[in-house]
């Protein structure tokens, strides 16, 4: 597998003019194409991303992180890429960890490799750490497998597998939606230790609003018949159960 040529990076952004240029430059060392989805920024994020070498798709108004990711995944799939690696635009993820995701997918056969920050959980902001663990425990019970870090946005996804799912989340519940969708479809999921980076960035998460959205998603997720992320029947069965 030539990971560099078969993989596109998808980076959702909202007002990340300070971090997006250096981030794109660093990611370019590991993949052949980068799609920055500018989710309604008002600070020149799109211009800086283009100058750094990214293909930019712009949402005129903010639609949410999930909507931005789905736009980027569609772009990568339509251009023939096999895999997409996703990173947040605020510099929270270390591009040097991308090869660890590649090695994990290659060695385990996983269709979804997820960054795991819990080895350095003490470096995470307290509230994020507590909420992440709470959500991860609930998803683990539903998926019937360990889920150490359900909310990490640093991931490597097989685009053919993703295309077999109905992923519709528009906001931060996208991370949970993708995990549950891959699990219910029988695709392999693996978790990869990654670096924990928290600097001076201001989180785009709005605790009350996004908690309400997550619980609305969760109510559907507990019903297999209604579950978001459910598999779509298109030409063949998904692969074997999670590794």
Convert the pLDDT of each residue in 148-191 to its tens digit.
Answer: 999 899 999 999 999 999 898 988 899 999 999 999 999 999 99
Contact in structure between 166 and 232 (CB atoms under 8 Å): yes
Does some domain include residue 29? yes
Does some domain include residue 227? no
243 residues of the chain, pLDDT tens digit each: 899 999 999 999 999 999 999 999 999 999 999 999 999 999 999 999 999 999 999 999 999 999 999 999 999 999 999 999 999 999 889 999 999 999 999 999 999 999 998 776 666 777 778 888 888 898 999 899 999 999 899 999 999 999 999 898 988 899 999 999 999 999 999 999 998 876 555 555 655 676 778 777 778 888 765 555 666 543 333 333 333
Does some domain include residue 243? no
Q: Which stretches does DSSP call E strand in 6-70? A: 7-13, 33-39, 55-59
pTM for the structure as a whole: 0.85
Does some domain include residue 234? no
Does some domain include residue 242? no
Does some domain include residue 237? no
Structural domain that includes position 203: 3-221
Does some domain include residue 236? no
Overall domain count for the chain: 1
Q: Report the Cα–Cα distance between both ends of the chain, in Å, rounded.
A: 20
Does some domain include residue 20? yes
* Residue that is written with structure tokens 């709005």 in the block: 206
List the CATH number of the domain containing 176.
Answer: 3.90.550.10
Q: How far apart are CA 129 and CA 116, in angstroms?
A: 12
């Amino acid at each position: 597998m030539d990971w560099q040529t078969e993989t596109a990076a998808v980076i959702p952004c909202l007002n990340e003019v300070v971090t997006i240029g250096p981030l794109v430059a660093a990611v370019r060392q590991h993949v052949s194409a980068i799609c920055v989805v500018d989710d309604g920024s008002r600070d020149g994020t799109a211009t800086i991303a283009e100058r750094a070498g990214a293909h930019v798709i712009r949402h005129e108004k903010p639609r949410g992180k999930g909507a931005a990711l789905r736009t980027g995944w569609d772009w990568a799939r339509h251009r023939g890429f096999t895999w997409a690696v996703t990173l947040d635009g605020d510099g929270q993820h270390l591009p040097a960890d991308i090869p660890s995701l590649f090695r994990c997918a290659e060695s385990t056969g996983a269709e979804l490799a997820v960054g795991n920050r819990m080895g350095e959980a003490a470096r995470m902001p307290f509230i994020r750490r507590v909420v992440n663990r709470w959500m991860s425990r609930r998803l683990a019970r539903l998926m019937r497998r360990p889920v150490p870090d359900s909310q990490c946005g640093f991931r490597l996804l097989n685009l053919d597998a993703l295309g077999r799912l109905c992923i519709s989340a528009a906001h931060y519940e996208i991370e949970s939606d993708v995990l549950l969708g891959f699990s219910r479809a029988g695709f392999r999921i693996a978790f990869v230790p990654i670096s924990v980076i928290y600097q001076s960035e201001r989180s785009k998460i709005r605790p009350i609003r996004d908690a309400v959205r997550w619980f609305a998603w969760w109510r559907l997720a507990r019903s297999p018949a209604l579950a978001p992320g459910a598999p779509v029947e298109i030409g063949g069965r998904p692969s074997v159960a999670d590794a």
